[in-house]
C-alpha cells in the first residue's frame, strides 16, 4: 500500500460521532421538557443544527468514498437504505398519532399526518403553522429526506471535479442565509421550516466532508482556518443582520468544528463512553417518540413541561425508544440491503431532530 494512502482521511466507524448525536438528542429532549421562558432553557434550534450538520458530513463522506472506490454512486442502494432506516419507525409513530386522534382526542391535524407520510410536513408548517401538535417535530425529518433525495444527484454530477463540487457546496451554504435575510419579514414559520432556508445547516456538514476528503488525517489547518473566517465574518454582522438569519450558520460552523475535532479522536476518549454512544444509536427513535409522548402527557396533566411531566415522559420515552430499536428499527436495518447480513459500510443515522 502506498504510504500516503494509509493516512488518507476515511470515515469508517467513529463512535465519537455517535456520542455527538447522543449529546444533541439529550439537549433537544431537555429543551422540550423545559417550559417556555424558563431561565437557562437551551433552544431546541441548537440540537436541530447539530443533527443536520452531522448528517450532511456523514452522507457526503460516504458518497464521496463510494464514488472514489467504485467510480459511481449506487442510487438504488442508497435510497433503499434510507427507506429501510427511516420509514418503519416513522410509520409506527404516525400510527400511534392517528390512533390517538381517533380513540381519544386530536393531537395532530390531518394535513400534518399527510405531510409526514409524504416527507413534506415542513412545508405544511411553513405555510400553515400547527406548532405544538404531535407531528410538528417531523418538519426536520422532511427537510432531511428532501436532502437525501437531491444531494446524491449533485455528487454524481460533480464528484470528479473537486473545485466544482467545492463551489457548488459553498454556494449552497450561502443561498439559504441570503433567503433568510430576504424572507425575514415573512415570519419565523416560513424561514425556520423551509428547505430552502434551512439547507445551510446540512451543507456546512457537506462542505466539511468535501474539505477533508482525500486529505491526510493530520492536515486540518485549512479546514480550521476556513471555519474561523466564516465565524468571524458572521459575528461582525450580528449587530446589523437579524439573529435568526445568522445564528443557524454560526451554530453549524461551530458544530462542524466539533465534528472534525471529534472524528479525529485526539483526546476525546470520553466521547466513546458507552451510555453516550448507545443514546446516539437510538437517537432517531427517541426523536420520533419523545415529542408525541410529551404532547399527550402535557394534555393529561394540564401542564406545559416541567419536572412532573419529565418524571412521566422520560421513562415512557426510554421504554418506547428501546422497543422501537429492538423490534422495529433493528430488524429492518438487517434487511435494508436485501439481506439479513449486516452491511459493513456505515450508513449515517437520520439527523432530523426538531424544535416545535
Q: Does some domain include residue 348?
A: no
pLDDT in the model for residue 267? 53
C-alpha cell belonging to residue 259: 465534528
Parent domain of 181: 18-335
Q: Does some domain include residue 11?
A: no
- Structure letter (DSSP) for residue 185: G
3-state DSSP call for residue 8?
Answer: strand
pLDDT in the model for residue 70? 85
Domains: count for the chain: 1
Q: Does some domain include residue 188?
A: yes
pLDDT in the model for residue 185? 83
- Sequence-distant (6+) residues with CB within 8 A of 262 are 14, 16, 17, 19, 20, 268, 271
pLDDT in the model for residue 162? 87
pLDDT in the model for residue 354? 36
- Which alpha helices (DSSP H) does 159-242 contain, by range? 162-182, 188-193, 195-212, 221-236
- Structure letter (DSSP) for residue 348: P
DSSP string covering 34-82, please? SPTT-TTPPPHHHHHHHHHHHHHHHHHHHHHHHHHHHSS--HHHHHHHH
pLDDT digits (tens, 9 = 90+) for 177-206: 999 999 988 888 899 999 999 999 999 999
Instruction: Please give the distance of CA 206 from its chain centroid, rounded to a whole number.
Output: 12
Give whole-number Cα distances, 54 to 43, 51, 60, in Å. Answer: 18, 5, 10
pLDDT in the model for residue 346? 45
Q: Does some domain include residue 165?
A: yes
CA–CA–CA angle 42, 46, 47 (5° rounding): 100
Q: Which residues of the chain have pLDDT under 50?
A: 1-6, 339-348, 350-356
pTM to 2 decimal places: 0.87
Q: Does some domain include residue 125?
A: yes
pLDDT in the model for residue 341? 41
The Cα–Cα gap between 25 and 14 comes to: 18
Which residue, 112, 287, 123, is CA-closest to 193? 123
Q: Does some domain include residue 353?
A: no
Q: Does some domain include residue 346?
A: no
Residues 160, 154: contact at Cβ < 8 Å?
no
pLDDT in the model for residue 9? 62
Which residue, 281, 288, 222, 227, is CA-closest to 256? 227
Q: Does some domain include residue 146?
A: yes
Residues 142, 116: contact at Cβ < 8 Å?
yes
Instruction: Please give the distance of CA 144 from its chain centroid, rounded to a whole number.
Output: 7
Residues 108, 133: contact at Cβ < 8 Å?
yes
- Sequence-distant (6+) residues with CB within 8 A of 338 are 80
Amino acid at each position: 500500500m502506498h504510504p500516503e494512502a494509509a493516512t488518507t482521511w476515511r470515515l469508517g466507524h467513529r463512535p465519537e460521532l455517535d456520542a455527538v448525536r447522543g449529546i444533541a438528542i439529550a439537549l433537544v429532549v431537555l429543551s422540550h421538557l423545559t417550559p417556555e421562558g424558563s431561565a437557562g432553557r437551551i433552544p431546541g434550534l441548537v440540537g436541530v443544527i447539530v443533527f443536520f450538520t452531522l448528517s450532511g458530513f456523514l452522507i457526503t463522506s460516504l458518497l464521496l468514498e463510494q464514488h472514489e472506490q467504485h467510480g459511481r454512486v449506487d442510487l438504488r442502494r442508497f435510497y433503499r437504505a434510507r427507506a429501510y432506516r427511516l420509514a418503519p419507525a416513522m410509520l409506527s409513530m404516525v400510527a400511534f398519532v392517528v390512533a390517538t386522534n381517533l380513540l381519544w382526542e386530536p393531537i395532530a391535524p390531518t394535513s400534518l399526518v399527510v405531510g409526514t407520510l409524504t416527507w413534506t410536513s415542513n412545508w405544511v408548517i411553513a405555510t400553515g403553522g400547527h406548532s405544538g401538535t404531535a407531528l410538528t417535530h417531523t418538519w426536520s425529518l422532511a427537510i432531511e429526506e428532501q436532502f437525501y433525495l437531491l444531494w446524491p444527484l449533485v455528487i454524481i454530477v460533480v464528484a470528479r471535479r473537486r473545485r466544482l463540487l467545492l463551489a457548488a457546496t459553498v454556494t449552497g451554504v450561502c443561498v439559504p442565509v441570503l433567503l433568510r435575510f430576504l424572507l425575514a419579514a415573512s415570519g419565523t414559520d416560513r424561514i425556520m421550516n423551509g428547505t430552502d432556508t434551512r439547507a445551510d445547516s446540512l451543507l456546512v456538514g457537506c462542505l466539511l466532508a468535501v474539505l477533508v476528503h482525500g486529505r491526510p488525517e493530520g492536515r486540518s489547518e485549512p479546514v480550521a482556518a476556513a471555519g474561523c473566517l466564516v465565524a468571524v465574518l458572521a459575528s461582525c454582522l450580528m449587530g446589523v443582520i437579524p439573529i435568526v438569519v445568522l445564528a443557524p450558520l454560526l451554530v453549524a460552523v461551530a458544530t462542524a468544528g466539533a465534528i472534525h475535532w471529534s472524528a479525529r479522536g485526539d483526546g476525546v476518549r470520553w466521547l466513546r463512553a458507552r451510555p453516550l454512544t448507545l443514546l446516539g444509536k437510538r437517537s432517531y427513535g427517541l426523536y420520533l417518540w419523545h415529542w408525541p409522548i410529551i404532547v399527550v402527557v402535557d394534555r393529561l396533566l394540564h401542564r406545559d413541561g416541567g419536572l412532573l411531566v419529565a418524571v412521566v415522559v422520560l421513562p415512557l420515552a426510554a421504554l418506547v425508544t428501546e422497543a422501537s430499536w429492538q423490534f422495529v428499527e433493528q430488524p429492518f436495518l438487517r434487511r435494508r440491503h436485501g439481506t439479513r447480513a449486516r452491511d459493513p459500510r456505515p450508513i449515517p443515522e437520520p439527523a432530523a431532530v426538531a424544535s416545535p
